[in-house]
Structure 1
Amino acid sequence: MDRTHDVIIIGGGSAGYAAARTAKDAGADVAIVDQGPLGGLCILRGCMPTKAILRTAEIAALIQRAQEFGLAPAAAKADLKTIIDRKDRLVSEFADYRIGQLRDPRFALYEHHASFLSPHELQAGPFRLTGKAFIIATGSVPREVAIPGLRECGYLTSDDLLDLRDQPSSLIVLGAGPVALELGQFFSRIGTSVTVIQRSPHLLSHLDDDIGTVLKQALEDEGVTVFTDTALTGIRKGVEASRSVSFIHRGEPMTVRGEQVLQAMGRRPCVDDLNLEAADVRVVDGRVVVDGAMRTSQRHIFAVGDVTNLYDIVHIAIQQGELAGFNATHLAEVPRQFDDRLVTEVIFTDPQVALVGLSEKTCRVREIPYLVASYPFSDHGKAMCRGDRYGFVKLLAVPENGQLLGAQIVGPEAGELIHELIAVMYYRGTVYDLMRMPHYHPTLAEIVTYPAEALVERIDKR
């Protein structure tokens, strides 16, 4: 069966649906091809399920600190089955809403696997689809890592762990990225003995080193064992179905044992069986290569979200989807470009990590001049009252005029606090603006005025 559409989108997750909605609003005949399960990574295996279970861990951690706040000690026993049941109910609600959007009659939905036949043709089950433009939004899957013995011994991915109903007594986490640390801290807080093994010298190695240092201290103080700067050498099965992970740590061979192993060393773009060769779409190191307009090596084929391996952040995937949806329906015009000036990331560990714009590491690599100042939560009144002692706020500014280049927050409610700094940067504001804006006392938000004041003093002296 042959069918023709203006825009054909492969993948119905957050990025794909954003592209479909935008293209439809531009008047295009839009088709979505998704073999299912429908809903997308964010809803089914990412943002929503992880945040649902992390809320349980936050409550458990507060209960464990009851005596610190003058309350009688209390014990909270975790029931992982019930935790997962709650998560599943929430995910089902979110997924049902998204499925309803995808099955809206204004779209043509093909629930089949997609495979390119040529740059303008796609096979979707029994359907041969021809399109004027295509948008690839197939997301990502857990990356497979070659570690001796890992496959033979068996391991869990983040996808597996979100459905685990039998709580392990001990868990070895391979990797220290956002997913690894969020899930590792969750299991530690509900009573599992957790060991984190990281290859790089710092946790969250893609960020500034001071962020990883603070988070490592916080995790270790909670009882998580953390090894950084390691080299994995092998994994073996131990007694009673346990696993032994061997590695080199600071030149010394070491072995740790655990009931389960979480392989959380990243994800990779999901381009399996798309037959991108037939479409003549350039792929490098497993990712679809795109330009600033989200266009691939074919001017009428776009790619958005995790499949590009640029940012594994859902709101950015949505922005890219909207951009591609517009450009795909305006092929004859100069395309709109993605603006990465306000790229934001939030990591939902405790303390939370949030950042926007440039980091010190990025400024050094790009040779961008900057001034930097930070202030710790341990010396901030509202944080002290709350018992939040980890973290800091750090601001980067242009030396000549104080315009904000970037900001990082490690600490309580960082994911909420970062939005004031996003707003200031959106309007290309300065540290002077942060000083002039009223901040209520006592609040967590007023902490941003302290590094701003330090930067103002330094700029005034130049």
Structure 2
Amino acid sequence: MATQRVHDVIVIGGGSAGYAAARTAREAGADVAIVDRGPLGGLCILRGCMPTKTILRSAEIAALMRRAPEFGLAPVDVRAALSAIVDRKERLVREFADYRIQQLRDPGYTLYEAPASFLSPHLLQVGNDLLTAKAFIIATGSVPRQDVIPDVTLEACVTSDTLLERRDQPESLIVLGAGPVGLEFAQFFARIGTAVTIVQRSAHVLSHLDADVGAAVGAALEEEGLSVMCGAQVRRVGIDGGKPVVRVSRQGTEQTLSGELVLNALGRVPDIAGLNLPAAGVRVDEGRVVVDGAMRTSQPHMFAVGDVTNLYDVVHIAIQQGELAGWNACHPEQAPKSFDDRLVTEVIFTDPQVAVVGLTEKACRRRGIPYLTGSYPFADHGKAMCLGATHGFVKLVAEPSTGALLGAQIVGPEAGELIHELIAVMYYRGTVHDLLRMPHYHPTLAEIVTYPAESIAEQLKA
């Protein structure tokens, strides 16, 4: 017979978003339960941010070592050992995961390690237990998407989840999709010696960003020897002669690509299978849990945060959402706190890196927001030239009457670090004039932001 247990707040999922929600609710004095079917640790630690950035570092070092003659150094014979790279990745991931598991098993929480399924809006089946609570927070994350191409099955593909565990280096790899995940894996394997082909339906890689961003990254990848096929529609993915094949149509012609592996990098979808959300009365639209600005679902006592909402697949945003939901769940009598998307930031760890904050030109046009823009290339920037890192540019988007920053895009060296100066200026609702008044040390990469700021300031004068 099932045991019924009562908590103030039940968080389903112990990843970055879920743990942030649980921690916030506990700090508000709630009796908090965390439900996680395992393995414990969350996507970021186990299969996302941390393992991918670990292996990318190995590839970055290999690529830089191969450039030794460019810097007046003796040539270096660089040979990658994928198994050793995976060993290093697993050591670090285990360390990160152990710390998260220690947090989840803190006696301040009740941890249930079993799948969860709603029986009603107020009753949750977890293993042999029936749980009820004043508030529920859904934070079950995401899984690789399988149904993105009509009439095409992707069973012959590997996913980013499984590719992270591979120890035998493939001779060739076909990557379906040129978003952040696809490009990071493509460049990693190319840099350790795999022949890589990227297949992208849109006209440029990173199609969700401005075209000049995608063009700059695509050109850098092709310069490294990757084959980048944009404007290509996948017609079939299967196995011929024991090897995966991909049939694509491009510019009116069809061709068949063959490789040792095919990576499905066509995105991820909310992981809600098995939750039985219809029984909970939670609205789902095209596979995502629908939430308002307070992270509240269609049920007033239920919230959803992180990838399960399919709004932003970015960890720091998932944490912010979790903290909002945790606070709102424990303060129903107060005006809810809402998520502010003005400073939404994304970093893509290709080389050159890509970093974006706020509005892009594409977003401004779509929303009918007037703007001014200024850009400046790293190829003409002193410190970047010294480093031999001249791909890309910095672009600022500003309000056309005051020069207030609306957004910024950086393609280039250390873009993920450089973007934080622009986040800070936008946080305080600063302008291009503020960027020009702030001292910037010379020679540094950071001083490049003053040049597009100066361009916009000149447009404002005109």
Aligned residue among 201, 205, 208 for 1:206: 208
| Counterpart amino acid of residue 77 in structure 1 | R
Aligned residue among 172, 175, 182 for 2:174: 172
Tell me the SS of whatever aligns to 2:140: coil
User: Residue 32 of structure 1 aligns with which residue?
Assistant: 34
- Following superposition, the deviation at residue 149 of structure 1 comes to 6.5
Pairs within 5 Å for 1:63-102: 63-102=65-104
| Counterpart amino acid of residue 451 in structure 1 | P
User: Residue 338 of structure 1 aligns with which residue?
Assistant: 339
Residues 9 and 16, structure 1, Cα contact 8 Å, conserved in 2? yes
Give deviations 1:9-46, integer Å, cap 9, x for gaps: 00000000000000000000000000100000000000
* Structure 1 spans left out of the alignment, 5+ residues: none
CA distance in 2, matches of 1:149, 1:443: 49
User: Residue 364 of structure 1 aligns with which residue?
Assistant: 365
Tell me the SS of whatever aligns to 2:282: coil
CA distance in 2, matches of 1:148, 1:116: 32
Residues 146 and 153, structure 2, Cα contact 8 Å, conserved in 1? no
CA distance in 2, matches of 1:460, 1:115: 61
Pairs within 5 Å for 1:47-66: 47-66=49-68
Residues 352 and 410, structure 1, Cα contact 8 Å, conserved in 2? yes
User: Residue 293 of structure 1 aligns with which residue?
Assistant: 294
CA distance in 2, matches of 1:99, 1:236: 39
Residues 154 and 264, structure 2, Cα contact 8 Å, conserved in 1? no
Give deviations 1:148-173, integer Å, cap 9, x for gaps: 67446x22000011000010000000
Tell me the SS of whatever aligns to 1:335: coil
Tell me the SS of whatever aligns to 1:78: coil
| Counterpart amino acid of residue 253 in structure 1 | E
Pairs within 5 Å for 1:241-252: 241-252=242-253
| Counterpart amino acid of residue 130 in structure 2 | R
| Counterpart amino acid of residue 372 in structure 2 | L
Tell me the SS of whatever aligns to 2:185: helix
User: Residue 235 of structure 1 aligns with which residue?
Assistant: 237
Residues 147 and 232, structure 1, Cα contact 8 Å, conserved in 2? no
Residues 9 and 135, structure 2, Cα contact 8 Å, conserved in 1? yes
CA distance in 2, matches of 1:417, 1:258: 37
User: Residue 265 of structure 1 aligns with which residue?
Assistant: 266
- Following superposition, the deviation at residue 238 of structure 1 comes to 3.4
- Following superposition, the deviation at residue 250 of structure 1 comes to 1.4
- Following superposition, the deviation at residue 249 of structure 1 comes to 1.0
Residues 148 and 235, structure 1, Cα contact 8 Å, conserved in 2? no
CA RMSD across the alignment: 1.0
User: Residue 199 of structure 2 aligns with which residue?
Assistant: 197
- Following superposition, the deviation at residue 269 of structure 1 comes to 0.2
Tell me the SS of whatever aligns to 1:383: helix
Tell me the SS of whatever aligns to 1:341: helix
User: Residue 6 of structure 2 aligns with which residue?
Assistant: 4
TM-score (norm 2): 0.98
Residues 174 and 198, structure 1, Cα contact 8 Å, conserved in 2? yes
CA distance in 1, matches of 2:312, 2:252: 34
User: Residue 353 of structure 1 aligns with which residue?
Assistant: 354
- Following superposition, the deviation at residue 258 of structure 1 comes to 0.7
Give deviations 1:186-239, integer Å, cap 9, x for gaps: 000000000000011110111111111000100000000000011111134234
Tell me the SS of whatever aligns to 2:341: coil
CA distance in 1, matches of 2:222, 2:89: 27
Identity among equivalent positions (%) equals 69
User: Residue 224 of structure 2 aligns with which residue?
Assistant: 222
CA distance in 2, matches of 1:237, 1:340: 43
Give deviations 1:264-287, integer Å, cap 9, x for gaps: 100000000101011100000000
User: Residue 444 of structure 2 aligns with which residue?
Assistant: 443
Tell me the SS of whatever aligns to 1:349: coil
The 1:238/1:72 distance shift into structure 2, 3 A limit, reads farther
CA distance in 1, matches of 2:220, 2:150: 29
Residues 281 and 298, structure 1, Cα contact 8 Å, conserved in 2? yes
Residues 372 and 397, structure 1, Cα contact 8 Å, conserved in 2? yes
CA distance in 2, matches of 1:276, 1:288: 9
Residues 174 and 196, structure 1, Cα contact 8 Å, conserved in 2? yes
- Following superposition, the deviation at residue 340 of structure 1 comes to 0.3
